């Protein structure tokens, strides 16, 4: 391999006079610098580990405790109540351990123990404070005395040093297990508007039978698991929802994130990729050192934002092998990435001389790949289609054809890379002058050509030839807010910190001494090529069936909605219910993802947005009922309360899911759980958070806003809707469905959403006129 020849540090020649040894000073210099960098990393991680381990105290507080105890001893005061003397008697007496040394050492040991005890006490207090969730259920602008007292105490806890990424991990409470009675009651309430009287009575009987017979035993075991496991949901959710599935993950599981909506910082593909890859390496370095600040919010901000929703992206930049069942492989400090361009795979080193490659150096490497005119090897062009098709053929092929020789080495290079980069040969992005430009952009990010993204990687970075970007992310390791956090950092760093020259190149000198990129080698037999083609045809059928529509709603946004004293999320969800009813003439089970990040290892919970109150409002809108605004407010309040319950661990679906998994382990047959888990979500929705980092002032730079991201349809005859509230005056909707369903049409649904938003606003406008 080319990089191996570049890395030769010495050569020797055998002569009659002996061995003539030739050392390369340049290579030895790089080896030395790499070693220094490695030790610096270890030192920083060790230091940050200590800072995190003693939080909310600080290492310097240990010295204060020691000085305080020593000073009391010189004042002939024993604050230890005899414990120092007890420690002193246990220490051995020797020539090196005088009586005075014993006394000092005993005092230091006592002070250290006291200091550690205080840290544990502070952590327990912090955990108790973070377990208080009553403030979430209070009306906006109205704060009880208990909440005010809690907020003051919490502010005092945070008034010290700046926390690191993992500082709060030990203090986050565990996700509580709801009671069976509460879960069954809320479940029956959620399905009431979807069932007629006879169906509901039958469901009520089945639910009560489950509550009486199977539930008590399942609940006991689940509570036992919650005591033992850090989070009683997350491990099963990851395994059974994501890793055990054998259907394709492309479209069905993976999701995407778009670039800035209006701005392309440079049209040079290699330069844009160079800046963004360097920004990702900066993000990874801060992540591995724990230097990212945890995302926090308090009741002093928006009343619907979770308190101290501590973002901890523990598993970013990981890859996903898959046999016999998929599993997440944890890797750290990977020093290369793999680039795909026109059917070829290239390995690019990310370090040079013990440091990250600069953006200009990365641009040079990527430009070399773009200029490479070699043809793909047999079977190489569509190789990544294996990751887009069914999982079983891929798992078998991986074992049979990629377990030895060059295939094993090349596959290992891909799966152990920091991430995967596609230098796409197409141009995409939002163009207001081109019809469906946003639709085609989204489809390209979601599935591409079905063979030009490595769908198993934690994420694939896509750089288009016009300088536009995007990300396709695998879902098992993280949810959208985690990828969004990284993406916000990367885009802000790219545009406002790294920048470009006037010609559009990356800033910095060009290093011509970089080792060349290495093209991965493959020896793919015809039998494997047939499997690749079969996987490609499966994936292409799925991709061709995706009906996507991107809708930019700019008539009004969060600013006007909040003036009406309504939660923007509740407003949009009720508009979706109205649009769904107008689209299909009926209501359906609706999924909205809510985060449970206030709990340790929390991921998501479901908010069932189709409620008795929301259906009453929708029917009133169709009937032109005069009480429409009152019904809207009741439905919005109901939605807010359900969202708060989900955030605070009192949701329905994760509890029922875990009870179902427990019933399988215990071989308990439950008709109720089977029916619940088989119900289709014909409207699946999710809000992608924006401005988690506040690195860009969008009021000052209104064009530097992201377009958000989306996902594929969940049900064959349903819609997938991702929406992003951008600033004060823009909401973007990413709508997906299937062409094969005669009941759905993504463009039609987008128009229904737009009209529903305007109709609900009209209610407030009419009310304002009456009050005037």
Angle, alpha carbons 414-494-314 (nearest 5°): 50
Q: Among 441, 493, 495, 426, which residue's Cα sits nearest to residue 472?
A: 441
**Which of 613, 650, 615 has the alpha carbon at shortest distance from 633?**
613
C-alpha closest to that of 273 among 360, 398, 205, 203: 360
Secondary structure element (H or E) that encloses residue 20, with its range:
strand 18-23
Dihedral sign from CA coordinates of 470, 476, 478, 480: positive
| 497: its two tokens | 């910190």
| Token couple for 187 | 């479940």
3-state SS assignment for residue 625: coil
The DSSP output letter for 732 is E
The predicted pLDDT at position 315 comes to 41
Calculated CA dihedral for residues 559, 562, 568, 571, nearest 10 degrees: -120
- Strand, coil or helix: what is 260? strand
Residue among 341, 475, 505, 734 flagged as catalytic: 475
Average pLDDT per run of 10 along the chain, which is 772 residues long?
Answer: 42 53 58 63 69 74 81 74 79 70 82 85 84 82 83 75 74 92 96 95 95 95 93 91 90 95 95 96 85 63 30 39 69 87 95 86 95 95 95 91 94 92 96 91 97 94 96 90 91 94 92 87 96 97 97 92 90 97 95 91 93 95 84 95 94 96 94 93 91 82 90 95 92 97 96 96 82 66
Is the Cβ–Cβ distance between 345 and 381 less than 8 Å? no
Residue 243, both tokens: 């890793």
| Per-residue confidence (pLDDT) for residue 22, from 0 to 100 | 55
d(CA 554, CA 631) in angstroms, rounded, equals 26
| Rounded Cα distance, 279 and 491, in Å | 8
Q: What pLDDT shows up at residue 323?
A: 58
Asked if residues 615 and 588 have their Cβ atoms less than 8 Å apart, the reply is no
User: How much is the pLDDT for 760?
Assistant: 94
Q: Which residue has tokens 């919490």? A: 154
Distance CA 41, CA 35 (A): 10
Whether 30 sits among the annotated catalytic residues: the reply is: no
Structure letter (DSSP) for residue 473: E
Report the SS3 class of residue 698.
coil
Q: How far apart are CA 755 and CA 764, in angstroms?
A: 15
User: Do the beta carbons of residue 166 and residue 52 sit within 8 Å?
Assistant: yes
CA atoms lying within 13 Å on the CB side of residue 714: 20
Q: Which residues contact 369 (CB under 8 A, 6 or more apart)?
A: 339, 341, 344, 346, 348, 423, 517
Query: pTM of whole model > 0.85?
Result: yes
Can you read off the two tokens belonging to residue 136? 């979430």
């Amino acid at each position: 391999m080319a990089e191996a020849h570049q890395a030769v540090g010495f050569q020797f020649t055998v002569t009659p006079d002996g061995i003539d040894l030739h050392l390369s000073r340049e290579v030895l210099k790089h080896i030395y610098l790499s070693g220094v960098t490695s030790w610096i990393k270890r030192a920083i991680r060790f230091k940050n580990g200590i800072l995190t381990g003693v939080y909310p105290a600080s290492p310097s507080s240990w010295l204060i405790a020691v000085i305080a105890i020593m000073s009391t001893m010189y004042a002939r005061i024993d604050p230890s109540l005899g414990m120092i003397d007890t420690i002193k008697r246990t220490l051995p007496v020797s020539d090196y351990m005088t009586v005075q040394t014993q006394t000092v050492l005993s005092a230091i040991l006592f002070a250290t123990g006291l200091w550690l005890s205080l840290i544990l006490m502070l952590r327990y207090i912090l955990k108790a404070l973070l377990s208080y969730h009553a403030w979430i259920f209070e009306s906006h602008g109205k704060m009880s005395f208990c909440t005010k007292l809690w907020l003051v105490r919490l502010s005092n806890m945070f008034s010290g040093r700046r926390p690191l990424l993992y500082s709060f991990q030990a203090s986050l409470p565990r996700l509580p297990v709801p009671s069976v009675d509460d879960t069954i009651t809320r479940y029956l309430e959620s399905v009431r508007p979807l069932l007629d009287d006879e169906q509901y009575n039958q469901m009520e009987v089945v639910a009560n039978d489950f509550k009486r017979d199977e539930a008590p035993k399942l609940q006991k075991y689940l509570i036992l698991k919650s005591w033992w496991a850090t989070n009683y949901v997350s491990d099963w959710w990851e395994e059974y929802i994501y890793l055990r599935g054998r259907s394709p993950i492309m479209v069905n599981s993976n999701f995407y994130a778009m670039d800035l909506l209006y701005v392309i910082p440079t049209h040079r593909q290699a330069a844009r990729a160079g800046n963004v890859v360097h920004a990702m390496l900066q993000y990874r370095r801060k992540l591995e050192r724990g230097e990212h600040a945890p995302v926090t919010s308090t009741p002093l901000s928006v009343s619907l934002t979770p308190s101290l929703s501590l973002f901890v992206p523990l598993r970013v930049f990981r890859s996903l092998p898959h046999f016999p069942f998929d599993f997440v492989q944890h890797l750290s400090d990977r020093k290369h990435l793999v680039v795909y361009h026109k059917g070829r795979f290239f390995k690019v080193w990310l370090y040079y001389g013990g440091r990250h490659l600069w953006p200009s150096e990365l641009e040079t490497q990527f430009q070399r790949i773009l200029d490479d005119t070699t043809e793909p090897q047999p079977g190489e062009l569509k190789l990544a289609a294996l990751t887009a098709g069914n999982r079983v053929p891929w798992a078998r092929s991986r074992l049979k054809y990629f377990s030895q020789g060059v295939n094993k080495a090349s596959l290992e290079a891909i799966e152990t890379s920091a991430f995967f980069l596609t230098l796409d040969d197409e141009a995409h992005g939002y163009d207001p002058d081109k019809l469906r430009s946003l639709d085609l952009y989204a489809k390209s990010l979601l599935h591409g050509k079905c063979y030009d993204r490595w769908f198993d990687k934690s994420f694939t970075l896509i750089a288009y030839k016009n300088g536009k970007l995007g990300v396709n992310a695998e879902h098992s390791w993280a949810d959208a807010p985690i990828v969004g956090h990284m993406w916000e950092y990367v885009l802000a760093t790219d545009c406002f910190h790294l920048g470009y020259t006037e010609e559009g190149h990356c800033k910095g000198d060009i290093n011509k001494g970089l080792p060349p990129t290495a093209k991965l080698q493959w020896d793919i037999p015809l039998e494997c090529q047939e499997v690749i083609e079969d996987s490609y045809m499966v994936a292409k059928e799925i991709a061709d069936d995706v009906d996507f529509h991107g809708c930019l709603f700019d008539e009004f946004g969060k600013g006007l909605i909040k003036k009406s004293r309504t939660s923007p999320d509740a407003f949009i969800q009720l508009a979706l219910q109205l649009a769904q009813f107008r689209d299909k003439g009926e209501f359906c089970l609706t999924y909205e993802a809510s985060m449970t990040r206030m709990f340790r290892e929390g991921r998501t919970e479901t908010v069932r947005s189709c409620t008795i109150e929301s259906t009453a409002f929708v029917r009133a809108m169709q009937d032109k009922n005069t009480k429409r605004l009152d019904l809207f407010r009741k439905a919005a309040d109901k939605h807010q309360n359900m969202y708060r319950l989900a955030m605070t661990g009192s949701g329905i679906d994760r509890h029922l899911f875990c009870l179902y998994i427990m019933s399988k382990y215990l071989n308990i047959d439950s008709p109720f759980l089977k029916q619940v888990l088989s119900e289709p979500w014909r409207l699946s929705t999710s809000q992608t958070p924006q401005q988690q980092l506040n690195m860009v002032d969008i009021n000052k730079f209104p064009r530097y806003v992201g377009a958000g991201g989306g996902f594929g349809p969940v049900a064959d005859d349903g819609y997938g809707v991702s929406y992003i509230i951008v600033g004060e005056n823009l909401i973007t909707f990413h709508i997906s469905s299937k062409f094969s369903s005669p009941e759905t049409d993504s463009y039609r649904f987008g128009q229904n959403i737009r009209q529903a938003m305007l109709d609900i606003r009209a209610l407030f406008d009419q009310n304002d006129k009456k009050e005037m």
